[in-house]
Amino acid sequence: MKATFLEIDSEVIGGTVVAFEDIQEDEPIEREERILAATHRPHYAICKLPLDRVQTIQRLEDLGFRFLETQLRLRARLSKSFAVEAFPYRFERVLSEGELEPVLAIAGSTFTEDRFSCDPWIPASASGLRYRRFVERSLRAPDERVFRLVSEASGEVVAFKTHRITGPREAQLLLGGVKTQYKAAGLGAMSEYFELNLLREQGVRSLVTHVSAKNYPVINLEVSGLGFRVETAFAVLRKVYSRTATCAL
């Protein structure tokens, strides 16, 4: 069992946030948790365990961890292209801070199915700030990319996507968001078609992503429409150690 510092979550919450990882079935979890908590003095901690590890999940619940969400890891082989020629949009990479602001505006307002949004301890507005920080990191990180979907007619940025290149033929899909007023217009699927075409042209053949099990539109798109399959289901739990932290809003 180890603790990993979560920089963005810590900034947003205003106190130390860690993830407890590599939890083994046969280790003394209660003792390890006490040691790690004393060492790192977290305000807030999360754990993510496969759903079939019920005994370990219940032991964490006995220590004060509470369930937040079920998360699915999806995987796909990228074997075909998608027809996007008729779409009146262009999909372009964001390369500068100046181009990023419309994307950040979407990231700050579009997400409602994440673990920050459903945690009653965390202010609702913290989720948007957290996702803005993730997108800003993707712009700076050498292995991550930010793309925006732009209307050809108006020049308006209507959606965005981010991903990480994890190998010569592998990528991880990260975030995708659509401007709130256009959520029912199919732009989420459209931006993913553009993204997958781009990755395929770059030689990527293996894709992985993570999605909340209650995010039904994304699951239906990626499993039914894009050929992803469910690889693992996780229980995500959290524990609040200190209520003195104040979210940086």
How is domain 76-232 classified at the CATH fold level?
Aminopeptidase (3.40.630)
Going 223 to 77 to 161 to 185, the CA torsion angle's sign is negative
Domain ranges of the chain: 2-72+235-240, 76-232
Q: Is residue 114 within 8 Å of residue 213, measured between CB atoms?
A: no
Rounded-to-integer distance, Cα 135 and Cα 141, Å: 10
Residue with tokens 């994440």: 114
How far apart are the C-alpha atoms of 69 and 85, rounded to whole Å? 38
Q: Contact at 8 Å (CB) between 177 and 106? A: yes
The reported pLDDT for the residue numbered 124 is 78
Instruction: Return the pLDDT at 249.
Output: 42
Q: What is the pTM (predicted TM-score) of this model? A: 0.92
pLDDT in tens, the chain (249 residues): 999 999 999 999 999 999 999 999 889 999 999 999 999 999 999 999 999 999 999 999 999 999 999 999 999 999 899 999 999 999 999 999 999 999 999 999 988 888 898 898 898 789 999 999 999 999 999 999 999 999 999 999 999 999 999 999 999 999 999 999 998 899 999 999 999 999 999 999 999 999 999 999 899 999 988 999 999 999 999 999 976 655 544
